[in-house]
Structure 1
Amino acid sequence: MNFKLIKNPMGDDDTRAAYNALASETFGLSFEDWYQGGYFDGSHIPYTVFDDGKAVANISVNLMDVEYAGTVKKYIQLGTVMTKAEYRGKGLQRQIFNEIIKDFSGKFDTMFLFANKTVTEFYPKLGFEKAVEYSFEKNITPQTATVKKLDMSKTEDVQFFREYYEKGNSFSGFEVKNGFALEMFYLGGPYSENVFYIEKYDATVVAETDGNTVTCLDIFGGQEYSAEEIMSAFGCEKLVMGFTPKDSTGFDIQPINDEDTVLFVYSG
């Protein structure tokens, strides 16, 4: 075995293809369309271990500016954590993580990641602590309003969405700033069918509906209205917030016990 750690393999066609192959094998994901769409701006930094040209392990650093209580902080979300099956147990994840800490020590305020139950014993060994997430739910009154789905494969719809993204999510207690590139990975891929424009409330929304429940993942624009008013346009009677709302008045707040998405925060 001939291990080599490459920081940010995205700029080279061969190493990017190998990175995408590992992501596809592990998660069914590919970053190629996102890269070719021009969204690679340096906010997504894979740290990838290669063995003779084959990507075998990775942790990606996602850089975010997050505004909380009027102050912007530097956040790092670690993601795309993966190791090819036959290379597990060789200490590659620890090697990658140590390199990330060396490169970013003193350059972030908070580092976090989400993990499933199979690895919850591993991350405390790297200095992470399990944190509690909360759900925010509220009954709402359905309203009549036109909800238009945006086609995120069309340049004009992406540009239209971007204009609203730049207005910010004023409803979030932890608002990500200047994160359009990372946003587009999700909206160009797994959530491409979940982007909507509601003219009545002058807002774009990323949302999912399930029966009589609507889950709000993001709202951009619509500052003159409440989140409840905007989300009532989907005709549902129950609202679930997919982020921590700035104003949680009237919400039923409960701890989340989901073993497949456990939040860990780095404490050193």
Structure 2
Amino acid sequence: MQTENITLNKQVFTLYIQYESDDNLRKKFNQLTNEVWGFDFENYYKSGYWDDNCIIYSLFIDDQIVSHTTVSTFETIVGNESIVLAQLGTVMTRPDYQKQGLSRYLMERILQDYKEKVSGMFLFANDSVLDFYPKFNFSAVQEFQASAPIVFSESSHHVTKLNLDDSNQRKLLETYVKNSIPTSSFDTKNLGLTFFYCYAYPDFGFKDSIYYIESLKTIAIVQKEENTMTILQLFQLEEQNIEDVILALATPEVDTVLFGFSPLNTDYNYTIHKEEDLTLFVSPELEDLFNNQKLMIPILSHT
């Protein structure tokens, strides 16, 4: 944990960084997160999967948290080069401390702290604050979602649904996440965040969506709704024909597959993807990448 006293607007704040192991401070953080976003990080902490890739920055005054930003770091491969990127999320300020420059201070501090540590940054901004992030040279970019029609046929590959309450099956997913080959044009490998969505928070619905295809050495996070199957993420130990994976996962009523990430195979249909009230912003290092390719941030990598 890192602690500093900061003076802003003639008030003294305490900046806490990476303090999740402090029970009292974490409780305050969870309370504000619940008030603003309707969930908290307590299950994540207790799950044991909160790792050093999730770094929390918070300003406190006395014992009250007043402003916060989370940094999540990812390993990815861009143009055959392995790099580290950072995503900013869980941005929030108590209503009575808004418009006092606290979020600006945290943004400037994080940019300074990570300028030599990462090769680029991205974030999702609420549409009500679209004018804030350009002040830090972040640009709004479009995302594109891939899709394809499916003609169902019987597959010889057996699919097993994983239960992460079973420690052996949990270890299996860990192995696949840690050792997966790239399956996306914008691969964001982060073990902790995967287990945040797939294990620590069943309410998000992904704990019940994990499928293992042993013969294809693939674990897929998949959801189906009526005639559409969405593959949110693939973890593979060896390169496989993605069409084999799709047919193994599909059921007779499915006639369309959507991807919650950017598949390496670009021979799909692409449409502009935008979640309600959210716009993707990227730092200057990533602007050309997103403007020149049809990419999306993997859904299971959002913070």
TM superposition score normalised by structure 1: 0.91
Question: Equivalent residues in 2 for 1:117-196 (5 A)?
Answer: 117-144=127-154, 146-177=158-189, 179-188=190-199, 189=201, 190=204, 191-196=206-211
Structure 1 residue 122: deviation in Å? 1.5
- 1:205 pairs with 2:220: yes
Q: 5+ residue gaps in structure 2?
A: 1-10, 286-303
- 1:98 pairs with 2:108: yes
One-letter amino acid of the structure 1 residue matched with residue 208 of structure 2: E
* Alignment equivalent of 2:246, drawn from 203, 219, 231: 231
* Alignment equivalent of 1:242, drawn from 247, 252, 260: 260
Structure 1 residue 48: deviation in Å? 0.7
Name the Cα RMSD after superposition: 2.0
Deviations along 1:128-163, one digit per CA (max 9) or x if unpaired, are 100111111111223445543322233222112112
Q: CA 1:222–1:65 in 2, change beyond 3 Å: closer, same or farther?
A: closer
Structure 1 residue 224: deviation in Å? 4.8
* The 10-residue stretch of structure 1 (139-148 or 2-11) with the greater mean CA deviation from structure 2: 139-148
> SS at 1:66's partner residue?
strand
* Alignment equivalent of 2:99, drawn from 85, 89, 94: 89
Identity among equivalent positions (%) equals 29
One-letter amino acid of the structure 1 residue matched with residue 278 of structure 2: T
Structure 1 residue 21: deviation in Å? 1.4
Q: CA 1:194–1:215 in 2, change beyond 3 Å: closer, same or farther?
A: same
Structure 1 residue 6: deviation in Å? 1.0
Structure 1 residue 222: deviation in Å? 6.5
Q: CA 1:25–1:151 in 2, change beyond 3 Å: closer, same or farther?
A: farther
Question: Equivalent residues in 2 for 1:15-164 (5 A)?
Answer: 15-144=25-154, 146-164=158-176
Q: CA 1:258–1:100 in 2, change beyond 3 Å: closer, same or farther?
A: same
Take 1:202 and 1:7, find their aligned partners in 2: how far apart are those partners?
39
Deviations along 1:17-69, one digit per CA (max 9) or x if unpaired, are 11111112222222222222222321100111112212221111111111123
* Alignment equivalent of 1:252, drawn from 269, 281, 294: 269
**Match in the other structure for 1:266:** 283
Number of residue pairs aligned between Structure 1 and Structure 2: 266
Take 2:225 and 2:12, find their aligned partners in 1: how far apart are those partners?
48
* Alignment equivalent of 2:233, drawn from 198, 206, 218: 218
Whether the 8 Å CA contact 2:183–2:236 is kept in 1: the answer is no
One-letter amino acid of the structure 2 residue matched with residue 231 of structure 1: I
